[in-house]
């Protein structure tokens, strides 16, 4: 499913979290491109959007695990938590859209 998130007006290396029903995604702008991951850390339940960007990764604020913003792969410690789901982001007419976010079940 394709979901509109809001304005594509981020500063370079800025991140924002978005809630879509019961789901949450973190979107960041790196090297001029928008990227998105599942925002909920699958280990500690923290919001990755409360973390920081380091290189091409978002670092979890709860336990410092880094996830590659392109792939969602945990690049720090495979024992601590699993990979995050990555989503494609597109920009049309100045608006951000995320692809592949499944809607809530009725």
Structure tokens at 79: 């024992």
46 pLDDT above the threshold of 60? yes
106 in a structural domain: no
Task: Write out 69-105 in H/E/C secondary structure.
Answer: CCCCCECCCCCCCCCCCEEEEEEECCEEEEECCCCCC
Does residue 95 or residue 101 have the better pLDDT? 95
Find the CATH number of the domain harbouring 20: 2.102.10.10
Q: What is the pTM of this model?
A: 0.90
102 in a structural domain: no
101 in a structural domain: no
How many domains in the chain? Answer: 1
Whole domain around residue 65: which residue ranges?
2-94
**Given CA atoms 70, 103, 22, 29 in this order, what sign does their dihedral have?**
positive
99 in a structural domain: no
DSSP 47: B
94 pLDDT above the threshold of 80? yes
48 in a structural domain: yes
């Amino acid at each position: 499913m394709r979901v509109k998130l809001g304005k594509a007006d981020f500063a370079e290396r800025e991140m924002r979290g978005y809630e879509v029903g019961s789901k949450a995604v973190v979107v960041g702008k790196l090297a001029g491109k928008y990227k998105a991951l599942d925002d909920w850390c699958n280990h500690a339940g923290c919001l990755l959007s409360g973390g920081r960007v380091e290189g091409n990764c978002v670092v979890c604020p709860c336990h410092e695990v880094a996830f590659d913003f392109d792939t969602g792969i945990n690049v720090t410690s495979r024992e601590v938590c699993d990979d995050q789901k990555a989503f494609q982001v597109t920009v049309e007419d100045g608006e951000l859209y995320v692809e592949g976010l499944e809607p809530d079940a009725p």
